[in-house]
Amino acid sequence: MTACIDREMAVQSLADGELDSMNALELEAHLQDCPGCAATLARLRAVRAKLVNAEPRYRAPEALRARIEAMIGPEAEGEPARPARTLPWFGGGAIGALAASMALLFAAPQLTSTALQDQLIAGHIRSLQASHLVDVATSDRHVVKPWFNGRVDFAPPVAELAPQGFPLVGGRLDYLDGRPVAALVYRRRLHSINLFVRPAPALASPVAATTHRDGYSLTRWVAGGLEYWAVSDIDSGDLQAFRTAFRKASGT
């Protein structure tokens, strides 16, 4: 059994203790009636427990031990140097704990904070309310793509998806976490879709996921060193169809 598509990220956040209290209460109520989400949560928690409690498997390299022992040499000038000693704390226990922590970081999806999701939704709403949906208004991707040159330090892929029911409207410069990002705008009937593109954060999860928050659907994926976030008030199924169409057309 798997988690509901629109609950995947929330379940992962709950497993990592990153879900705010209001959404946690709502999700826990959902878990009472959803075996798939409950089973997914149990699996995530089991993986976390195994990694945290894993037996130490690694020892510090001898060269690294020697460098650290040299750094903590004589404490005062003139004090006779003491024989190098083995550092008991730097044995398997500490290294094992570090290895378990690193394994947890790479094994479990690195979840995006709810604060970033709030920024994404706010950026989507702001673009609609301020009548500033696009800086460059065109359905020609060959115009939109080069427009970002010099405005962001990466090249966002741009796809024309009119045949798939998601015509390109244009693009604009936006901001997430205080940094400039590319925002590509598409339409689904009378609804706007904002696709935010930015360099992928370190340790970003490669897992594509969809969630629903405050009446808006969000879907994300990572490809080619970039992170993509699509935000809209359309049905989550339509937004996933957009994600599939964009990835196929752009090769991401």
Task: Identify any residues that bridge with 174 across adjacent strands, giving them in sequence order.
Answer: 181
Rounded to an integer, the average pLDDT of 175-197 is 95
- According to the model, what pLDDT value does residue 185 have? 97
Please answer whether residues 216 and 238 qualify as being in contact, where contact means their C-beta atoms are separated by less than 8 angstroms: no
Rounded to an integer, the average pLDDT of 179-204 is 93
Distance CA 84, CA 67 (A): 11
Distance CA 117, CA 113 (A): 7
Query: In three state form, how does the secondary structure of 197-223 look?
Result: EEECCCCCCCCCEEEEECCEEEEEEEE
State whether 93 and 35 are in the same domain.
Answer: yes
CA proximity to 213, closest of 129, 109, 115, 130 = 115
State whether 122 and 103 are in the same domain.
Answer: no
Residue finishing a domain among 85, 111, 137: 111
- Cα distances from 100 to residues 64, 65, 87, 97, 228, in angstroms, run 19, 20, 20, 5, 29
State whether 74 and 146 are in the same domain.
Answer: no
Please give the residue range of the domain that contains residue 128. 114-250
Distance CA 37, CA 28 (A): 10
pTM of the model: 0.59
pLDDT at 60 over 50: yes
CA proximity to 239, closest of 194, 201, 175 = 194
pLDDT at 76 over 50: no
Provide the number of structural domains found in the chain.
2
Rounded to an integer, the average pLDDT of 28-40 is 86
State whether 84 and 178 are in the same domain.
Answer: no
Residue finishing a domain among 84, 111, 138: 111
Residue finishing a domain among 96, 111, 126: 111
Question: Residues with Cβ < 8 Å from 174, sequence gap 6 or more?
Answer: 123, 127, 180, 181, 182, 183, 196
